[in-house]
Amino acid sequence: MKSRAVAFVTYGQLLLAFFLALCVALHPGFVLKSDEGGMSNYGIHLKTFAPYTLSLGFPMLLSFLAARLFVGEGDSLQQFRQLLRCYAWLLILTLASTYSYSLNSVLRDLHIVFGAALVIFQMIASVWMYRLLRRRLDGALLAAELVGFVLAVLTISGALHVLFFTQVLTSGAFAVLLVRSALTLDDPSTVAGIA
pLDDT digits (tens, 9 = 90+) for 109-163: 999 999 999 999 999 999 999 999 999 999 999 999 999 999 999 988 888 888 8
pLDDT at 35: 67
In contact, 180 and 9? CB cutoff 8 Å: no
Q: Please, what is the average pLDDT of the chain?
A: 91
Residue 190, pLDDT > 60, answer no
C-alpha–C-alpha distance, residues 7 and 33, integer Å: 35
pLDDT at 165: 92
Sign of the Cα pseudo-torsion (42, 161, 158, 115, in order):
positive
More confident residue, 31 or 78: 78
Give the residue from 43, 88, 42 showing the smallest Cα distance to 65. 88
What is the full DSSP assignment across 65-97? Answer: HHHHH--SSSHHHHHHHHHHHHHHHHHHHHHHH
Per-residue pLDDT of 32-51, as tens digits, reads 777 678 899 899 999 999 99
Query: Range with the lowest mean pLDDT among 68-72, 90-94, 95-99, 119-123?
Result: 68-72
Domain that holds residue 6: 2-194
Residue 172, pLDDT > 90, answer yes
Write down the pTM of the prediction. 0.91
pLDDT at 193: 46
Domain count, the chain: 1
C-alpha–C-alpha distance, residues 10 and 128, integer Å: 18
